[in-house]
Amino acid sequence: MNDALSTPTMVTSGKTAREIFEEVRANPARARFGFGERIAIVNVDPQNSYTRPDLFPKTAYITDPCQIEHINGISNAARAKGLPVVWTHVAYMDSAADAGVWGTRTDTPDSLQNIKFGSERHQFDERAEIDETVDAIYTKRMPSAFFETPLQSLLVWHKVDTVVITGGSTSGCIRATAVDSLSRGYRTIVPIECVADKHESYHFANLTDLALKYADVVDVAEVYEAIEACHS
């Protein structure tokens, strides 16, 4: 066999996921998608099950202590400009049949499929500043906020070209939503302070992958600037 085809080429490293992410982020040659003309804020699952470790220590997580504050800030700024703001949360029917195969790996009180409609786990974090008169609120059942929700239709109606994704987890629903967003032709933005995960390895490894392939991973300050630049 040709040696060139039998020798592994995968790069190995003793660096942490955080260190690798910071190197990627600092690369001046890294191209960006940039912001377009019409922004939507998509807040993925800021619900008690994932944001309140005081209530649900096995499933919730905090990365940036000001995450909810930042999510509220950019959502309020977008709303003031007449831009769409979307909130999703996860819940399942009592039988968990709508969780499908995703709900079959475990069955404990903390398992995904046991987030039931109307439960405390299903409720949005009380700190989230949701305006039910204008914001879109969707229940989703799978990782991506696009999967079997009206999100795509909403974005088309509002002539959105840029999707800003917040929430959690970085390695799960954020990544899935970002991949679907890019796949649908949207400029996709992930503000670092607005996403979180259970472990820094998963968090930073996925931020690296997002930055290299699917999204612009930026400081939240850039999102404020881009919203301000949008026409009402």
Ranges of the chain with pLDDT below 70: 1, 232
Q: Is 173 assigned a catalytic role?
A: yes
Cis peptide before 169 (omega within 30 of 0): yes
User: Measured between alpha carbons, how far is residue 193 from residues 120, 124, 127, 207, 218 in Å?
Assistant: 25, 19, 16, 12, 9
pLDDT reported for residue 1:
59
11 DSSP 8-state letter: -
- All domains of the chain, ordered by start, with CATH? 34-229 (3.40.50.850)
Catalytic residue among 66, 173, 194, 230: 173
pLDDT reported for residue 28:
83
The helix/strand/coil state of 230 is coil
pLDDT reported for residue 118:
95
203/217 Cα distance (integer angstroms):
12
pLDDT reported for residue 25:
94
Tokens coding 41:
């804020």
pLDDT (tens digit per residue) in 182-204: 999 999 999 999 999 999 999 99
pTM score, two decimals?
A: 0.96
CB contact at 8 A, 188 and 214: yes
184/9 Cα distance (integer angstroms):
32
pLDDT (tens digit per residue) in 4-37: 788 888 989 999 999 999 999 999 888 899 999 9
Contacts of 34 (CB under 8 A, 6+ apart): 187, 216
Nearest to 160 by CA among 84, 81, 79: 84
pLDDT reported for residue 24:
95
> What's CA 180's distance to the chain center, in Å?
11
* Element at 190 (helix H, strand E): strand 187-191
